[in-house]
Amino acid sequence: MPKFVLYFLALSVLCAGGASGQSQGAFGQVAFGGSWRTTFTLLNLSSTDVAIVTLSFFGDNGSPLDVPVEGFGVTSVYALTLPAGGAQNVSLSNADSATTQGWASMSSTGRVRGQGAFAFLVPNKAGVISNAVVPLALAGLAGCVVPFPQSDPVILMPFDNTNGEFVTSVAFANMNAKIPAQSFVLEFNDQSNNQLATETLNMATMTHLAFVTPARYPALKGKKGIIRIHASASELAALGLLSNAAGVITTIFPVSE
């Protein structure tokens, strides 16, 4: 049998498995303590089958991260059961003055989707809470047409560091557990596509990185433009957060070429 036919059949089996059953993905940033709280909302897309969902939490160095799950306790792995067509919230919060951050991977026995959401108590604004969404990045093959690997997959996000108005932060999680380490090239270009900064990130498997863009790259102060991350969205969970002068945050969603 020709190699192309064998390749097509193998991919068809993988695609059918992803479409009919299990889900895998990641939330690129979680935070709790120090006025931060993260809540996951998970939905079972099947109207007939129960889904068992496992959330695994990791710190910046890729080691398991103990998180405070409301109504359960402290754990680095939390499992729950979603009834057919059902949904459930999972919240992380505690009274610690320090903020802890990391990321979460999700696996399930069924077709599960969802999102995370930050709730952040705005500094010096008594009782004012800001919220931002954390998208679920799905791992694995995308779509059921034969998905030939892209030669240079790219994730795009806008950024805005306008002086006195906005600051952009980003978070990345290497959710590929099969390769010990990967390198991802970051490019920051202005709105005319002139390069302002670039860096190659070397991330070990399951590690996490989050930073304020103008603090890491001074050339981005007062600038706005586009971030290009040379990585596959099925291997790297990416997220941007835009904060204004009042400390209110909103989500910058990644898009893939």
Residue 85's domain comprises 21-138
Q: How far apart are CA 225 and CA 156, in angstroms?
A: 11
Q: What is the mean pLDDT of residues 126-139?
A: 89
- Identify the band that residue 127 occupies on the pLDDT scale cut at 50, 70 and 90: confident
Does residue 4 fall inside a structural domain?
A: no
Q: What is the pTM of this model?
A: 0.86
* 3-state helix vs strand vs coil in the chain, percent to 5: 10, 55, 35
pLDDT in tens, 14-37: 344 444 568 899 999 999 999 999
Number of domains comprising the chain: 2
- Scan for tokens 């496992």, then name that residue: 54
Q: Residue 222: left (phi > 0), alpha (psi -120 to 50), or beta?
A: left
pLDDT (tens digit per residue) in 208-228? 999 999 999 999 999 999 999
Residue showing tokens 């390769």: 179
Copy the structure tokens of residue 137.
């990045």
**pLDDT value, residue 15:** 44
Say which CATH number the domain at 194 has.
2.60.290
Q: How far is the C-alpha of 240 from the C-alpha of 153, rounded, in Å?
A: 18
- Indicate if 159 and 195 belong to the same structural domain: yes
Specify whether 26 is located in the same domain as 60: yes
Tell me phi and psi for residue 23, to 5 degrees. -125, 145
